[in-house]
Amino acid sequence: MKVWGVSVSYYTGKLEAYLRYKGLAYEMEHPFADQKRIKGLAGAIQVPLLERDDGRWMSDSTPIIQHLEKEFPERTVLPADPVVRFIALLIEDYADEWLWRAAMHYRWSYEHDRELLSRILADEITTHLRLPRIVRRYMVKKRQLTRWVLQDGVSEDTREHVEAGFFNAMSAMEAMLKDRPYLLGNTPSIADIGLMGPMLRHFGQDPTPAAIMRNEWPAIAEWVARVWNAHATTQETSLLGAIPDDTGLMLKEIAETHMVQLRENAIAHENSQSHFEMTAQNCRYKKLPVSRYRVYCLERLREQFNELSSEHQDKVKALLPHPEYTLIWNDEVTANSGYDVERQAPFNMAINVFE
């Protein structure tokens, strides 16, 4: 397989962690120098993209992984128990779509991080531009700080809450890792793989959050290395058959943050708005960009819940008593993204998920 990605990318790191655990060999390539051809084949330059040796292209880390699980069922990351599997997928969605804001904030708001990462990205994504490296670095810094931080709701009013999201995630993970090596068992699940997106290439490597992780939450730094090396240290899949009480902090955090975002984003999308506001944990976010893709994420959560038996649905509801979770099983809020309606992902033509 050929992974078209970036060495410091959130979702490229997530996919690499999965491929390494499964023992699936791959080569890494950077797509930007050949983006016209690749965009025509894959739909968008939204890393990572996976090019198969039979000429097929796969996009979007979540459906890529779910498809590969069917193709390569050994060392599965999907729990056999339907309730545990649903909760694992919920945690993955939170990792993908909520922690992104904190990860980008730490990378581009702090000068030391910004200077280091602009050097790396200038060399990986802008070499096709016939401009001096210092100019390309400036372009990267300005674009990333403006688009992924300032225009994504990070301000003096929200900065403290954005950073608290990182701390809360690590506290919740630490509780789940106290009595076992991985979040939902003795081998990695899709929850571990999802959280490797922010925890590996951003929080675990960017100077400022990495120092916080090492000094304040060393168990999480150890977990990052453990997941990265899991193929060499684990044998048969061993995932839990029921959700333990120690997931409580994680599920509470997801309800109070990610579910609020999914609800307000879906309402704004239905009303054809370009931006929305929300209040999460008493913090008011203003002028957040509406994401069509996050409406699609809500659609997928609802579909996965509806696929459960009545008995399993009741068990999930019992695990998720916070009122924000009713968004998953009630339809008062419309979720109609219009994306991948024929469910061809990961072989559909990709879209830029942040447009």
Number of domains in the chain: 1
For residue 77, count CB atoms less than 10 angstroms from its CB and return exposed for 0-12, middle for 13-18, buried for 19 or more. Answer: buried
Residue 36's pLDDT band (cuts 50, 70, 90): confident
Does a structural domain hold residue 13? yes
Does a structural domain hold residue 251? no
Question: What are 284-308's pLDDT values in tens digits?
Answer: 999 999 999 999 999 999 999 999 9
Question: What are 209-225's pLDDT values in tens digits?
Answer: 999 999 999 999 999 99
Question: What percentage of the chain reaches a pLDDT higher than 70?
Answer: 99
Residue 37 structural domain: 2-71
Domain harbouring 67, CATH code: 3.40.30.10
Does a structural domain hold residue 66? yes
| 353 has a pLDDT exceeding 70 | no
Does a structural domain hold residue 58? yes
- What is the pLDDT of the chain when averaged over all its residues? 96
Lowest mean pLDDT among 28-32, 104-108, 294-298, 315-319: 28-32
Does a structural domain hold residue 54? yes
Region 193-211: mean pLDDT is: 98
Does a structural domain hold residue 67? yes
273 close to 310: Cβ distance less than 8 angstroms? no
Residue 35's pLDDT band (cuts 50, 70, 90): confident
Residue 41: the pLDDT is 87
Residue 354: the pLDDT is 53
DSSP state of 7: T
